[in-house]
Amino acid sequence: MRKSLRINHHPLLGEMDKKVISFTYNGEKLQGLEGEPIAVALLANHIRILRRHEESGSARGLYCGIGHCMECRVELLGKGQVRACLTPLKEGMEIREGSRLPNAITGRVDS
């Protein structure tokens, strides 16, 4: 297994004291810290692909990290599409790669 990307002992910022919890991504069982954004928990597990582009299918991941770009949309069971960079992780969350958004939101017209 690859080394986690967590910065456990930051020389200036210290430690993150948050509880370790479990969740799944595309069915795989993973661990993350309670309350951290979903995208952060995935990144710590070396997972960067959060969705695929509606038309071209190209892989997309976190880009702005602060809720502006909408690139990090994932599917959260029971909630629908959420921005992974803003949505806090909770115990037992079931998350999947983001799927296509409804046209009502994108303004896209099917042709």
Partner 1 sequence: MRHVNEGYIVCRCEEVTGKQLEDAYLLGAITSRQLKMKTRATMGACQGRVCRQLVNLWLSKKDQCADKGVEPLSYRTPIRLVTFGELAGEE
Partner 2 sequence: MSEVQQTDLLIVGAGPAGLSAAATISADRDFRVMVIDEFPEPGGRLLGQFHEERNHSWWIGKIVAADLIIQNTLAGVMIQCGVSVYGLELLPDGWRVLTSKGDIRTKYLLLATGAAEVPMPISGWTLPGVMSIGAAQVMANVHQVKPGERGYIVGVNVLSLAIAKELVVAGIEIEGIALPPDDLFAMEETNPVAAIELLTRLSDAAPAPWMRWGGKLAQKMKLSRLIASCFPKKGVKVWDLPLQLRTALVSIQGVDQVESVIVADVTRSGEIIEGSQREIEVDFVAIAGGLYPLAELAALAGCPFLYVSELGGNIPVHNERLKTTLPNLYVAGNITGVEGAQVAMAQGRLAAHSISYDAGWFACEEEPKLLDAIAEVKEVRRSAMIQFHPEIDSARKRIYELFEHWM
54: left (phi over 0), alpha (psi -120 to 50) or beta: alpha
Site membership for partner 2, residue 70 (CB under 8 A):
no
Give yes or no for a contact between 25 and 87, defined as CB atoms under 8 angstroms apart. Answer: no
Site membership for ligand FES, residue 67 (CB under 6 A):
yes
Residue of 52, 69, 81, 101 interacting with ligand FES (CB under 6 A): 69
The 8-class DSSP code of residue 2 comes to: P
* Cβ proximity to partner 2, 49 vs 77, nearer residue: 49
Largest CA-CA distance found in the chain, in angstroms, rounded: 55
Residue of 26, 31, 64, 103 interacting with partner 2 (CB under 8 A): 64
Residue of 34, 47, 52, 65 interacting with ligand FES (CB under 6 A): 65
The 8-class DSSP code of residue 99 comes to: -
Residue of 85, 89, 93, 95 interacting with ligand FES (CB under 6 A): 85
Site membership for partner 1, residue 83 (CB under 8 A):
yes
Site membership for ligand FES, residue 35 (CB under 6 A):
no
Alpha-carbon distance of 109 to 95, in angstroms, equals: 28
